Chains A and B, each alone.
Chain A
Amino acid sequence: MPEVLKAPLVVEFPFTRSVGPVQSAFLTGLRERVVLGVRTRDGRTLVPPVEYDPVTAEELRDLVEVAPTGTVTTWAWNHEPRRGQPLTSPFAWVLVRFDGADTALLHALDAPGPEAVRTGMRVRVRWAEERAGAITDIACFEPYEGEGAGEDARVGRGEHAGGAAAGARHSGEFEDAISGIVAPARLDYTYSPGRAQTAYINALSGRRTVGERCPSCRKVYVPPRGACPTCGLATAEQVEVGPRGTVTTFCIVNIKAKNLDIEVPYVYAHIALDGAGLALHGRIGGIPYDQVRMGLRVEPVWTDGARYPDHYRPCGEPDADYETYKELL
């Protein structure tokens, strides 16, 4: 089996997230070095503040301020930070219960090594120098030697450090409160189209269009995807189709697509290559756009270095009769 094709696929987008009132208050608060929680009806204080009670599903809106200090409830040492994580040198992931809170927040703890981290240790927020109203306004946590230091808080199942110690009510109102965040996300993949499409693409580099025939229904699939979709069987027999074909239907594109450098108007058409069981897509050139018609006979026009035909142009044959291609519409 010849080597399959592979290429990087980067999926990247800066998502624009509106955050709603509770999250806006919390994230804006971080910008102002204020840590907010939210109170539930039964008196728990949740930090970070969530919009809906995880137990009762009630909408939560009563904000309180808590101190920027807390206790580690569990941790994990990350000796190899990955892209996007809060610190670039080894750090501990921690869940931190802020003083006055009943729930914990996930973040990073800057510590010299795993031997310096333990459940129950006291930590405080290290604020980012530049803050914009995002969870990353907390640069990380750091060990806290101040009040309560040296004396680990007890952390156990079902025990609450919060309750009565919870902080003062907070209006949640700030000047220039943020209404949203921009969350860039990039994931890197290595894409491989698999066996059948690799064969198809390799043939294209010789300017040949090669499909695959279904062993059962005998239809020729172009491009082949490895299976006959109606029979659910693997295809293997290779069949060259075209190069000429028939325009089965089309539209005239009058708006420029962002990612395409094609002057409008142009014709985007479905083209049934001779011998193919279904139409593929291409642009029609070499003819005024308003003279393209269903049934037009065309041939591919290749340009150097391109994987696919640049466009198809009339080949001079008389138009195909509707009856000959109506099944391919």
Chain B
Amino acid sequence: MSKEPVAVVGIGQTKHVAARRDVSIAGLVREAAARALADAELTWADIDAVVIGKAPDFFEGVMMPELYLADALGAVGKPMLRVHTAGSVGGSTALVAANLVAARVHGTVLTLAFEKQSESNAMWGLSLPIPFQQPLLAGAGGFFAPHVRAYMRRSGAPDTVGSLVAYKDRRNALKNPYAHLHEHDITLEKVQASPMLWDPIRYSETCPSSDGACAMVLTDRAGAARAPRRPAWMLGGAMRSEPTLFAGKDFVSPQAGKDCAADVYRQAGIADPRRDIDAVEMYVPFSWYEPMWLENLGFAEEGEGWKLTESGVTELDGDLPVNMSGGVLSTNPIGASGMIRFAEAALQARGLAGEHQVERARKVLGHAYGGGSQFFSMWLVGATPPDS
């Protein structure tokens, strides 16, 4: 039994900002969903099911908010699923939705992910005062910085690599109207002069807190044939998980990430990702994760990822552009960040990314991860249907 090919025919995002004070949570998600429908030239009645994702409910203080959002997303009378796989959730949500089409359960599915961080404070949500536990001794970056140091030790990467990534992503964001940070006066010197928060991570190498939502309309071959604009086709998709903390865990290059990528490449017939994949939207919350993931995803040998960054390969006009949209470093509505990666990959494959479009982007990888570098979700999308 073969799977139904899955096409992305509609994509919508909000303009991501620190605080969307003009809309409710429903208004925020509605904006992204309405834009995705408009892109696909579909109405609410054309949608068979809704799959929604977000990070912990404590961030907005609404338990299972999809119950309240059913009306705003036109889900009344339809199936509605809510996914939560930590930071990878935006990607996982898209994959759950894609499976509904691939399994021929539904023809056309709306998938959406969001976070309205301004309703509370993510650090509060992440550090509830659990009794008996040792208090977190450092902020969000304190979790990641030791792993970055471990990577630097292993790879021998010069300590400027992180700033190169941040400088690139923030410049890319200037070409993306939906990106949160638009730092028009950014210079490499400014990135390198920004305060060292969690040495080796500088302020400019960290992601912002954003309010935002991202939505996609996924459909089958029949739906794609009716689509007004070019679809992107899903060529492979996978999720992998490993435990939070365990003896032998490799935080720098987790096995679950390698396995997830290998599964996607197998499905998509990718023999050499460096050669066969044209661009990547990867989940880089702190700049150093770009070289780390380049290795984890098989674009470079272990210890060599930073060389791609340093030599300009991952620039927008490079040989393997990474985070053309500006990435998580420029936009971070936590639960939506993974779906934005997936959606931006699809935009590239459709040739509709506008100013940050990569020429001849035929096969593009979208990548998300979360938890203690333990949950991974990825998809590879292309300009042509699978097996064609």
Contacts and interface: CB of A to CB of B under 8 A. Distances in A.
Asked whether the complex places CB atoms of A and B closer than 8 A, the reply is: yes
Contacts of A217: 247
Contacts of B76: 54-55, 57
Interface stretch (A8-16, A69-77, A86-94, A128-136): A8-16
B71 A57 contact: yes
Interface string B186-223: 00000000011111110000000000000000000000
Contact of B132 (A7, A250, A259): A7
Contact of B196 (A17, A19, A252, A329): A252
Given A7-B131, A15-B60, A219-B247, A251 B20 contact: no
A229 interface: yes
Contact of B147 (A17, A249, A259, A269): A249
Interface in A1-39: 5, 7-11, 13, 15-21, 23
A242 interface: no
A252 to B, nearest CB: 4
B137 A282 contact: yes
Contacts of A281: 134, 137
A229 B244 contact: yes
A15 B119 contact: yes
Contacts of B147: 249
B150 interface: yes
Interface in A218-249: 219-221, 228-230, 248-249
Contacts of B123: 258
Nearest to A5: B132
B142 interface: yes
A56 B138 contact: no
Interface residues of B, number: 65
A313 to B, nearest CB: 15
Given A57-B71, A57-B74, A252-B196, A20 B127 contact: no
Nearest to B72: A52
Interface stretch (A118-126, A142-150, A177-185): A177-185
A15 B147 CA distance: 33
A59 interface: yes
Given A17-B24, A281-B134, A254 B198 contact: yes
Interface in B294-319: none
A20 B146 contact: no
B123 to A, nearest CB: 8
B252 A329 contact: yes
Contacts of B247: 217, 219-221, 230, 277-278
A307 B135 CA distance: 11
A230 B243 contact: yes
A83 B150 CA distance: 49
Nearest to A229: B243
Given A230-B247, A268-B138, A18 B118 contact: yes
A40 interface: no
A253 B196 CA distance: 8
B266 interface: no
Contacts of A248: 150
Contacts of A277: 246-248
Contacts, number: 176
Nearest to A262: B137
A217 B248 CA distance: 11
B145 interface: yes
Contact of A52 (B26, B150, B248, B249): B26
A205 B325 CA distance: 51
Contacts of B138: 251, 253, 257, 268
Interface string A302-313: 000001100000
A179 B128 contact: no
A250 B149 contact: yes
A214 to B, nearest CB: 8
A89 B107 CA distance: 53
Nearest to A11: B128
A263 interface: no
A329 B40 CA distance: 47
A197 B134 CA distance: 12
Contact of B201 (A16, A19, A251): A251
A193 B206 CA distance: 33
B243 A259 contact: no
Contacts of A268: 137-138, 142, 145-146, 198
B120 interface: yes
Nearest to A248: B150
A50 B71 contact: yes
A282 B250 CA distance: 19
Interface in A43-80: 50-57, 59
Contact of A18 (B21, B30, B131): B21
B150 A251 contact: no
23 contacts: A7-B132, A9-B131, A18-B21, A18-B24, A51-B24, A51-B26, A57-B72, A179-B22, A217-B247, A219-B247, A220-B247, A230-B247, A249-B147, A251-B198, A251-B199, A253-B142, A253-B199, A254-B198, A254-B199, A255-B195, A270-B146, A307-B132, A329-B154
Given A13-B58, A250-B149, A258-B123, 14 more contacts: A5-B132, A17-B119, A18-B118, A20-B24, A51-B24, A54-B71, A57-B71, A219-B247, A228-B246, A229-B246, A230-B246, A252-B198, A268-B137, A277-B248
Interface of B: 19-27, 30, 44, 58, 60-61, 71-74, 76, 118-121, 123-124, 127-139, 141-142, 145-150, 153-154, 195-201, 243-252
